[in-house]
Each structure stands twice: as structure tokens, then as C-alpha cells.
């Protein structure tokens, strides 16, 4: 079998792990598919050519609005299982600056003098509210798998 070294991970991989149909820059055929799939930007990491059409990525599952809502809830509650699902399964970006303060005040109705985290944690319907906020995007907790999953 023929092998080729990937320009990103530097591993020698079988040729089947590389895309050969590309007519983009010279580097596109030298990066393995697993590395292409995790590129943060849809561009060549070497020459910066735009690869949006080449990578054919679907639009993000969550809009920035919902990403901010869910990340804030996970952090406010210290829900590591939910946070892990957001980062690993639902593609949320931990380095993105999100409007947490305004988001928290909108969700909880907290005033400037109130702590929105305390208001959220003390809310009697918090569990129901969280469940309903998740259902908006088809997310639920699967008790058998012990993880959050998409239902739509």
C-alpha cells in the first residue's frame, strides 16, 4: 500500500486517508481527512487559500445565541457532563468570547444589583427551564447513555 505523510499531524497514512479530487492549492492533497475535519478555519494552514467549498462543512448546529445560553447554563451550574457535550459533541468553542453577562440577565431576569448565577441556581423551575431550553434545539439527556444527545 502507498503511504503519504500528512502536513499537519506528520503521520504516515494510507493514501485512502487523503482527498485526491481536490483542485485547490497544492497542500490540499497532502493533509489527511481526519486533520481536514478538525481545522478551525476553512482555509489552507500553509498558504491560507479559502477552502470553504472544498471542505463542504455544514452550517454550525448551534447559533452563537444558543451556544452562549448553553455555555452559560453549564458553567453556572458546574455541569461538567453538559459542558463536555457542548465542547466535544455539539461543536461549541471554549475560546469564543460570548455575551455571558447580558445573556445571564436575560435568562434570569436579574437586575444589575443581583447576581444572575445565584438567581438561576435558586429558581424553583430551573430544571424545567433548562430542559425546555435544550428541547428548542432537540437536545435531551439520555439516561441510558448518561450523556446529552440530539433528538432531531
Q: What is the predicted pLDDT for the residue at 89?
A: 85
Q: How confident is the model at residue 53 (pLDDT cuts 50, 70, 90)?
A: confident
Long-range contacts of 27-35 (CB under 8 A, 24+ apart): 28/54, 30/4, 30/5, 30/6, 31/6, 31/7, 32/6, 32/8, 34/9, 35/6, 35/8, 35/9
What mean pLDDT comes out for the span 11-16? 87
pLDDT digits (tens, 9 = 90+) for 102-124: 878 888 889 999 999 999 999 99
Q: What is the predicted pLDDT for the residue at 61?
A: 67
Which of 94, 125, 96 lies closest to 108 in space, CA to CA?
125
Judged against a pLDDT cut of 70, whether residue 22 lies above it is answered with no
Element housing 147 (H / E): strand 147-150
**pTM, two decimal places:** 0.59
Q: What is the predicted pLDDT for the residue at 20?
A: 73
Query: In Å, how far are 3, 21, 32, 49, 98 from 15, measured between CA atoms?
Result: 5, 12, 9, 23, 40
- List the grid coordinates of 117: 448565577
What mean pLDDT comes out for the span 69-83? 92
Judged against a pLDDT cut of 80, whether residue 58 lies above it is answered with no
| Selected residue with higher pLDDT from 59 and 104 | 104
Amino acid at each position: 500500500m502507498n503511504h503519504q505523510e500528512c502536513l499537519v499531524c506528520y503521520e504516515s497514512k494510507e493514501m485512502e486517508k487523503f482527498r485526491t479530487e481536490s483542485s485547490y492549492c497544492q497542500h490540499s492533497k497532502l493533509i489527511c481527512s481526519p486533520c481536514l475535519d478538525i481545522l478551525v478555519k476553512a482555509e489552507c494552514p500553509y498558504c491560507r487559500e479559502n477552502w470553504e467549498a472544498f471542505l463542504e462543512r455544514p452550517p454550525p448546529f448551534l447559533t452563537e445565541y444558543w451556544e452562549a445560553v448553553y455555555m452559560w447554563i453549564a458553567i453556572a451550574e458546574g455541569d461538567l457532563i453538559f459542558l463536555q457535550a457542548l465542547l466535544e459533541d455539539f461543536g461549541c468553542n471554549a475560546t469564543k468570547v460570548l455575551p455571558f453577562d447580558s445573556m445571564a440577565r436575560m435568562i434570569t431576569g436579574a437586575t444589575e444589583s443581583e447576581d444572575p448565577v445565584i438567581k438561576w441556581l435558586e429558581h424553583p423551575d430551573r430544571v424545567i427551564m433548562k430542559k425546555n431550553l435544550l428541547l428548542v434545539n432537540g437536545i435531551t439527556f439520555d439516561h441510558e447513555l448518561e450523556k446529552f444527545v440530539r433528538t432531531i
